[in-house]
Every structure is written in structure tokens, then in C-alpha cells.
Amino acid sequence: MRVIVFAAVLLAAYWAALVVGVESPLVTHCAFLALITAPTVAVLARAALRGKDRLAWAMLGAGLVLWSLGFHWQIIGDLRGAARPSFPSPADALWLASYPCFLASFMLLARVWLQRAPRAVALETLAVLLGATALVTAAVVPWVLDNAGEISVLGRIVTLSYPVADSALLSMAVIGAVVAGWRAGRAWTVIAVGALTLVVGDGLWALQASAGTWEPVMDSNALYPLWPAFAALAAWLPQPATRTTFVGSGVRTHAAALVFAVTSVALLVANEWLAIPAPAVVLAGLSLLVTVQGTGRALASSLRAALEDARERDLVDDVRDAMHNGELDLYFQPLVDVAGGRVRGAEALLRWRRADGVFIPPDKFLPAVERSALMGPLTDWVLDRALAAASGWHRSGHRVGISVNLATCNLSEADLPGRVLTALRRNEFPADQLTLEITETAAVVDSTMTGHVLQALRELGVELSVDDFGTGHSSLIRLAEFPISELKVDRSFVMGMHTAERPIVATAVQLARSLGLRVVAEGVEDQRTLEALAELGCDIAQGYFISRPLPAVEFAGWLNHPALV
């Protein structure tokens, strides 16, 4: 903080000397060079001393070195009494060479949010760039075209290139600031302020050069020290401890694009009364078109999302009505011993047939329900009816277990174990005959609540099974930590056992054995697959070869069938 205060005092003293008309080279030349050199060294020091984003700050420092060398070339020549340099001069080559370094630095600093930001950000950046460039060209082009200083065509191109290039820097910095937000984007905000001072400074320089009043020290020199000063301040600002997810950046980038769109509209309206240069009018029009297109895309996306949300809410309401109107039903698919064919249990599968007879597959409505508050009540509904059916089988002499699927969101419900216990007691069903199936992803999610819920369920005596094993990205260490007793190999692997998938099934069986777990193979479609599973040592089989899912009444009759496999 003391360094910042000291730098501010020196800059204020330099400005005060310019205001009162001090003409000493010690102020107009040496102090100016010191004010742009010291921050450049600070940026390079940041790159050397801190590892985070080192390359980005090194590129910014390299650009500032080239930029400041241009002033050294110009001012030292003036101190030596050299004749007025030709235009463009070697100093211009150094200044122009600094811009690729600046842009590369910005791209490196932005790579984190560029990976996460939506594609629409590119359009909004373009809109900001076009709007800023339109404003700059509207101010500078008339003076360049008037060419009172009688500079060459190349000189005029170079003169105009500075504020245009500055507009690109400003646009990137503005979008970087609004995408990252204030907490993660403070450095971007400071850089944007510095880029704005560079735009104004180069704009003044271009006006004076075009008017023929060019001097080594001009009014713009009062602003130039601000660019490296703000760059140095951004480089040494404290960095956030963690990466930000940039939530809501879309709204902020829309707002930034809208601000420059309003500027473009103002230029187009002003063209009715003022002689706005044609390039500025074209750029303003393009900025407006890009903003409209981006806004249209965002509006269309928002409308699609709103319609999808509305359809999902309607679907959830339909499922709720179906649950109350008796349109939902449970079907049961047998689980049998691979070796002996004895029925070990059944999996309860939810089915929905509307009153008009149309069947709705579970994958068409369950994802929407899982994202709603209805998932808890629906899970209770399925659990209660499954236990009631299984309890009836027990009373008929068929002591088989029942498996019920849980959604991932169920594992974040702290009261789930209590609800399971209530359902077990209500249906007088033994807890050790109930298996709750959870997906592989849910089983290994790093959540304290999930661990507590699974442990509480296991303490009830309920068995836990990992469903669709092999399709997720589970950590074996996390998997071994949870109180599971069964792995269900996904049907996609089992059905492909006769081609390339057999090693995967064999590995899953070996893994389960090493963890002391049962193995259930889903998707058994023929005798050949069943025999192959027996060779691998799989415990339980499930699939259409054994039986299709059956309504409760038909399944009770199937249990009395003398030949199961």
C-alpha cells in the first residue's frame, strides 16, 4: 500500500509540474521515463517472483518493455537535440510490436474463463470491440483525414492503428472483468481502466499528430504513465485463493455488450446531424447487428430453457396425478442363482400406463422427477408397494428378497433411513431381505450426507447394491469405503460377452470377489450367456432369458413354476 501511495504522489507531482508549465527536461523527459519504466520493472518482477500465471505476466512485461523503449528512443533523441524524426519512426515500430505481447498476455490470463464461458461470450466481445472502435474512429478519423500535419499515407495508417489496437485491449479487458466478476476479476478491472487511459492518450496523440502539432512531449504524455501503473497494480493484486465458477457471467456480458450497443445507436442517431465518418458508422452498425444477434440467441436459448422447464413441470405434475390415480404400477423381474437356478429375489421396476392406454417408458419421466421435489414421495410409494408385494410372497412360502432403486437425490435426504424403517415395519418385512440399489456415480459421490445416509441404511440391516457398475467413473478406494454388499454389472457389458466385453465382466467379478461382494449380471438374454457367467463365478443373473418384468399377480404365479431356467 505504501508503494502505491508513493507512486500516486510522484504521479501527482508530475501532473502538477505539467499544469504549471515546468519545462525542465528533468520533469518533461526524465520523470516521464522513470514513471513508465518503474511499473514495467514491477510487472517483470511479478512474473519472476510468483509462479501463478507467470507466462501471462511475463508477456505483459515484455510488451511494456517494448512500449517503454519506444518512448526512450524518442525522448533520448530529443534530449540529444536530434532533428524531428520521420513518421513513422523506429519508436513506432517498438510501440506497434508491443500489442501482440499485450494481446497474448490477455489470452493467457483469460484461458481459465475461456474454457468455461459460453460461446456467446465471443459474440459479445466482438460487439464490445466494434462499439469501442466505432467511438474511437468517430473521434479520430476526421482529424486523420483532414491531415493538417501533412503526414504520409503510411503515417496516417499508423496514427489510426494505435487507438484501434487500444480498443481491442479495452474490449478484452472489459469482457474479462465482467465474465470473472469482481472477486476474481479485480485484476481485469484494473487492466481495463489502464487500457481506457491508453485509448484516451493515444487518441489525443493521434489528434495532435494529424493536426501537425506533434512534439516529443504533448498533453497525452500526462496519461501514458497510467497504463503501466495500472498494469503493475493488477499484477500485484492479491489473487483469489480458489478458482471462481463464473456463475452469472452471461448476464454481465450481455450488459457490457448492451452498453456499447447503446453507444453505437447514439453514433448512428448523431449521424443525422453530424458528419460521423463512414468507418465509424459501419462499425457502429456492425456492433449493433452483432449485439442483436447475440441477444436474439440468448433470448432464444432462454425461451427454450423456459419451455423445457415448463414441459418438465407439467410432466412432473402428470406423474403426481398418475401416482394418485392408480396409473403407476410395479413390475418385478426375477433374480436367480447362476449355478442352481433358485430364485433369490426380484427387482421392482416402475411402469406408467396412462388412462388412454399409452405406455410411458421410465427414462422419459424419471429424470424430470429426480430433479423435482416429487422424487422423495415417489420413492416412498415404490418402496411401500414393493415391500407389500414381497411380504405377500413370504406369506405364500416364497422367501425371496426385493430390490428397489434409489435416485441419487434420495441419498441427500437425511430422513430416508427413518422412512425405510417405517415402511419395513408397516409391511412386516425383514430388513435383510431388502436391497436398495444406487447408481455407481451416487455410490462414490464425495458427500458427507451420502456417507451418513448409506451407513444408517446399512445399520438397519438393509443391503446396498451398486447398479449399472462399469458405466460410471468410480474410485475403487471410495467404493471400498461404503457399506455395499452387491455389484450389478451393467447389461451393456453382459449382452456383449461373446465379443469384446467378456474381459470387463470377468474383471468386475474378480473385483467383487476381492471386496467380498455378490455379483449380479443384468441383461442375460440366452443360455450361452448364462453358462459363461457360471464359468466366471457370477452369483446372480437377471434378464429376459429368465423372465421379463411381470406384474405382481403374474410374478406370484411365476414363482410356482417348476422350471425356472
Please tell me the distance from the alpha carbon of residue 218 to that of residue 231, in angstroms, as a whole number. 22
CA atoms within 13 A on the CB side of 3: 8
Measured CA angle at 452 (ends 446, 456), to 5 deg:
140
Please tell me the distance from the alpha carbon of residue 543 to that of residue 264, in angstroms, as a whole number. 65
Question: In a 3-state reduction of DSSP, which class is residue 461?
Answer: coil
Beta strands in 418-544 (DSSP E): 434-439, 463-469, 486-489, 518-521, 540-541
Please tell me the distance from the alpha carbon of residue 436 to that of residue 404, in angstroms, as a whole number. 5
- Dihedral (Cα; 550, 556, 557, 562), 10-degree rounding: 100
- Dihedral (Cα; 474, 475, 480, 481), 10-degree rounding: -100
Active site residues: 522
Q: Identify the DSSP state of 216.
A: S
Q: Which of 528, 507, 442 is nearest to 478 (CA)?
A: 442
To which H or E segment does residue 191 belong? helix 153-211
Q: Which of 231, 261, 250 is nearest to 58 (CA)?
A: 231
User: Is-contact 483 504, C-beta < 8 A?
Assistant: no
Contacts of 50 (CB under 8 A, 6+ apart): 57
Question: How many other CB atoms are found less than 10 A from the CB of residue 334?
Answer: 25
Full DSSP string of 141-172:
HHHHHH-TT---HHHHHHHHHHHHHHHHHHHH
132-167 b/e (C-beta count within 10 Å ≥ 16 → b): bbbbbbbbbbbbbeebebebeeebbebbbbbbbbbb
Q: Which of 257, 119, 231 is nearest to 178 (CA)?
A: 257
